[in-house]
């Protein structure tokens, strides 16, 4: 599905390049079709935007397309088996991401999830306090870039344990219960590892590597899982979910 869909900000889109590739039509022909009808109401949305792609020293224009815009263009083409197959696959991909977004939305009204999220905030605070102590510890040993360790540990946990398709203000706010449990274990592993290493006077670079090994071990035990996609749901779906 990732080959059919592009997550841009909170919009789930496809592109004229994807459409061209999947139906076996020259991209130039797809662009001509878009330009011919781009003044129609269906294309008057903020998501409909032209971008430029540098390829082999040349700049190629392409368009982001919503589900409706892509399907509109496909209705203007002859219904070959290839186009019908692509329509089915594209619709399934968009439905898949809507379901993920609805699950993430309903999760935030679940009392058990809210309790777990609050618990992980407490553990995270304890972990960040330990990292701050470690930063001071590294500085005492001559580190010139110790402040980066906070970001390094955060990135290590997220990219080591999860598949991330977009940027999040706070990735933990979209995690499932299982993922919250896992990130909580990771925070505790980092915190305990750093505390033990500093207590034993381990050089700061080794402290970091030992903590990193703990995350790598968790990653071997728990294969990376995709974080839920945070997307903007259509208004009817939002109203139905909140009714």
Do 33 and 73 touch, CB atoms closer than 8 A?
yes
Which of 105, 139, 157 marks a domain boundary? 105
Q: What's the CA gap between 79 and 182, in Å, rounded?
A: 47
Each residue of 4-20: pLDDT tens digit? 988 777 788 899 999 99
Considering its fold, how many domains does the chain have in total?
A: 2
Q: Which domain holds residue 150?
A: 110-226
Do 79 and 30 touch, CB atoms closer than 8 A?
no
Do 91 and 67 touch, CB atoms closer than 8 A?
yes
Q: Residue 14: beta bridge partners? A: 65
Residues 6+ apart with CB under 8 A from 44: none
Lowest mean pLDDT among 60-69, 91-100, 153-162: 91-100
DSSP string, 34-88: HHHHTTSGGG-STT--EEEEEETTEEEEEEEE-HHHHHHHHHTS---HHHHHHHH
- In this structure, is residue 164 part of a structural domain? yes
Q: What's the CA gap between 185 and 46, in Å, rounded?
A: 41
For residues 90 and 114, state if they share a domain: no
Which of 105, 130, 165 marks a domain boundary? 105
For residues 189 and 84, state if they share a domain: no
| pLDDT attached to residue 237 | 38
Residues 6+ apart with CB under 8 A from 98: 12, 231, 233, 234, 237
Q: 179: pLDDT confidence band, cut at 50, 70 and 90?
A: very high
For 136, 158, 171, 194, the CA distances from 155, given in Å and listed in that order, are 20, 5, 11, 17
For residues 86 and 23, state if they share a domain: yes
For residues 100 and 115, state if they share a domain: no
| Res 147 pLDDT > 80 | yes
For residues 99 and 118, state if they share a domain: no
Q: Is the pTM of this model over 0.95?
A: no
- In this structure, is residue 150 part of a structural domain? yes
| pLDDT attached to residue 232 | 54
For residues 30 and 59, state if they share a domain: yes
- In this structure, is residue 152 part of a structural domain? yes
Query: CA 228, 118, 111 angle in degrees (round to 5)?
Result: 75
| pLDDT attached to residue 2 | 52
Which of 105, 138, 154 marks a domain boundary? 105
For residues 95 and 187, state if they share a domain: no
- In this structure, is residue 95 part of a structural domain? yes
- In this structure, is residue 231 part of a structural domain? no
């Amino acid at each position: 599905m990732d080959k059919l869909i592009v997550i841009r900000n909170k919009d789930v889109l496809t592109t004229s390049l994807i459409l061209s590739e999947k139906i076996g039509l020259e991209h130039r022909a797809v662009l001509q079709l878009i330009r011919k009808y781009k003044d129609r109401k269906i294309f008057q949305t903020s998501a409909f935007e032209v971008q430029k792609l540098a390829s082999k020293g040349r700049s190629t224009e392409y368009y982001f397309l919503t589900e409706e815009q892509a399907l509109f263009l496909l209705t203007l083409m002859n219904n070959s088996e290839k186009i019908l197959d692509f329509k089915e696959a594209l619709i399934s991909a968009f439905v898949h991401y809507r379901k993920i977004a609805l699950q993430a939305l309903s999760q935030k009204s679940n009392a058990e999830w809210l309790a777990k999220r609050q618990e992980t905030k407490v553990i995270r605070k304890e972990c960040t306090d330990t990292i701050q102590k470690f930063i001071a510890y590294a500085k005492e040993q001559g580190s010139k870039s110790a402040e980066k360790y906070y970001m390094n540990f955060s990135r290590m946990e997220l990219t080591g344990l999860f598949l991330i398709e977009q940027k999040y203000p706070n990735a933990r706010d979209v995690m499932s219960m299982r993922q919250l449990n896992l990130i909580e274990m990771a925070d505790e592993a980092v915190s305990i590892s750093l505390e033990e290493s500093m207590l034993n006077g381990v050089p700061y670079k080794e402290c970091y590597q030992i903590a990193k090994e703990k995350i790598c071990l968790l990653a071997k035990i728990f294969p990376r899982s995709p974080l839920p996609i945070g997307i903007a749901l259509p208004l009817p779906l939002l109203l139905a979910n909140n009714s």
